[in-house]
Homo-oligomer: A and B are copies of this chain.
Amino acid sequence: MGKMGSEMLIYVLLLMAGVLASGQSSQVKIWPMPASVSYGHTHLYLTNDFGFSSNYGSEILKDAFDRMLALIKLDHVIDANFSAFNSSSLLQGLHIVISSPNGQLQYGVDESYKLIVPSPEKPAYAHLEAKTVYGALQGLQTFSQLCYFSVTSRVLQIDMSPWTIFDQPRFSYRGLLIDTSRHYLPVPVIKKVIDSMSYAKLNVMHWHIVDTQSFPLEIPSYPKLWDGAYSPSERYTVADAADIVSYARKRGINVLAEIDVPGHALSWGTGYPSLWPSKDCQQPLDVSNEFTFKVIDGILSDFSKIFNFKFVHLGGDEVNTSCWTTTPRIRNWEETFNDFGNKLSRKTVVHNWLGGGVAQRVVASGLRCIVSNQDKWYLDHLDTPWQEFYANEPLTNITNLKQQKLVIGGEVCMWGETVDGSDIEQTIWPRAAAAAERLWTPFDKLAKNPRDVTGRLAHFRCLLNQRGVAAAPVAGLGRAAPEGPGSCYRQ
C-alpha cells in the first residue's frame, strides 16, 4: 500500500510538474524574454559533477559559471541515485565558445549569445556561444533559468528540451539608480543589488553617491568632503568603491558614478564651508568661487582612478538658483537642456527624468538620451504598479530611425528617501524586472498587454525569492506585503 502510494505520488507529481514546477511548461518562463526561442518536450537531468569547458581562459567566465552552478543548487539538497536515469537524458556539462579575446567591459559591449541544449554534436553537453565573455554571462543567466530542482527526479532538471536560443539586448544601456546619500547602503547590500540586477540582465548601476543629506565617499584630493557623511561608519573608502566596481564588472555591470552638481551640495560644505555661497545659504555650490571648481576637478580626477565607465553623471537637477549672484559656468543636464539644450556638447548624454516628451526633443536636437521618466520608472513612486513599468516605451513618439538610435536605453531609479538596507530589495523587485524586459526584449516580442506576462513575471519573482532576493509579490504596489496566504506563483 505504501509502495502503491509512492507510485501514485510520482504519477501525480509528473502531471503537476508540467503545470507548475517547470514553470508552466506550456510556455517559456525565461525573464527577460530572449530575442528568439525554440524548444521541445524532452526532460534532461544535470549530473552531480556538471561542469564547463571553454576555449576562453578567463577568471571572469570561470567565476560566473561557478556562481551560476551554486545558484541553481542553492534551494534544495540534491540526493538522487543517478544510476536510475537513462544516460541519454543526462547533461554532463556546458561548453562555452567565445570568439573575441577582448575582456574589457565598456559601454556598448556585445552581449549577444546563442544557447543550444543539448549540443547537436555532443548531446551530453549544452552549448553556449558568444562574441564576448559578457555575452556568455548573459547566456549563463538564461541557462540558469532553464534549470530547476524537481521533487520528482530529485535532481536539477531541464524541461522542454531541445532548446535553441538566440539572444541580444534591444538597448545597450539598461540601468538601475541607487542613492547612498539619503540613506547609507552597506557594501554587502549594494553587492546583493548588483547580483539581482544580473539576474534580470540589467547592465548599468547608476550610483548616485552624494546629495544634500550626506557625502559618504572618500575623496583623497579633498579628504574633508566625507566629513559630510552621516557617521564614520557610514562611509565608503576608495578601496570599497573600487571593490564595488570590480564586483559589478565580474557580473557584466558597469558602474556609472554620479557627482551631483551644482544643486544638491549642502553636505559638501561640512568639510569645506567655503563651498557654500554663505552660512545661511548653503546650496547650490558657490560657482563664483574658483575653489568650487578645484574641488569638482579633484573629485572627477579621483573618480577617474576608481570608475572606468565611459560616462560620469553630473547630476544637475533641481538647481535652486536663488542663492546665486552669478550665472553657472558648469554644464548641467536636463533642466539646463530645457533652457539651452543646443549649447550642450555633442558628447553629452541627457538623462531624461522629467518625462513629458523631453526625450523626443533631446534626440530631435541630435543628442543621445537615457530614459527614466519619473511618472513611470521611479521605483520610489510606490503607487506605480509593475504594469506601468512594463508598458513604458522609451521610443514613444520617436519614429525617425536616426533619432531612435540616439535613445541608448533607460534606467529605473531607486531614490533613497525611504529606502535603506531594510527595504531596498522589495522596493526594486519585481517592478525593475518589468522595465528590464522592456529594455532587453525586441519590441515585437514584448506583450502589448502586460497582463499576458503576469504568470511569467510571478515565476521570476518566486525565482528571486528562491535565490534569497526579497522581491515583493507582483499583485501589490511597491514593496507591498502579501495580502494573505497562498502560493508564491499566485501572488
Interface residues of A (CB under 8 A from B): 2, 5-6, 8-9, 12-13, 16-17, 20-21, 74-77, 79, 148-152, 154, 181-184, 186-189, 192, 213-214, 218, 221-224, 227, 230-235, 237, 239-240, 242-243, 416-423, 425-427, 462, 465-468, 470-473, 479, 481-491
Known contacts: A5-B222, A485-B416. The answer to whether A468 contacts B192 by CB under 8 A is yes
A5 and B237 form a contact (CB under 8 A): no
B77 and A188 form a contact (CB under 8 A): no
B470 and A231 form a contact (CB under 8 A): no
Nearest opposing residue in chain B for A462, CB measure: B233
Kindly list chain B residues whose C-beta atoms are within 8 Å of the C-beta of A422: 425-426, 465, 470-473, 479, 481-482
Question: Interface on chain A toward B: helix, strand, loop, or mixed SS?
Answer: loop
Taking the closest CB of chain B, its distance from the CB of A487, in whole angstroms, is: 4
Taking the closest CB of chain B, its distance from the CB of A79, in whole angstroms, is: 4
A17 and B487 form a contact (CB under 8 A): no
Nearest opposing residue in chain B for A467, CB measure: B188
Taking the closest CB of chain B, its distance from the CB of A219, in whole angstroms, is: 11
Known contacts: A151-B237, A418-B482, A487-B234. The answer to whether A2 contacts B221 by CB under 8 A is yes
Tell me, in angstroms, the Cα distance from A233 to B463 when the chains sit together.
Answer: 10
B466 and A188 form a contact (CB under 8 A): yes
Nearest opposing residue in chain B for A416, CB measure: B485
Tell me, in angstroms, the Cα distance from A187 to B465 when the chains sit together.
Answer: 10
Best-buried of A182, A187, A490 by chain B (most CB within 10 Å): A187
Known contacts: A75-B186, A188-B74, A233-B21. The answer to whether A12 contacts B227 by CB under 8 A is yes
B239 and A79 form a contact (CB under 8 A): yes
Tell me, in angstroms, the Cα distance from A182 to B485 when the chains sit together.
Answer: 5
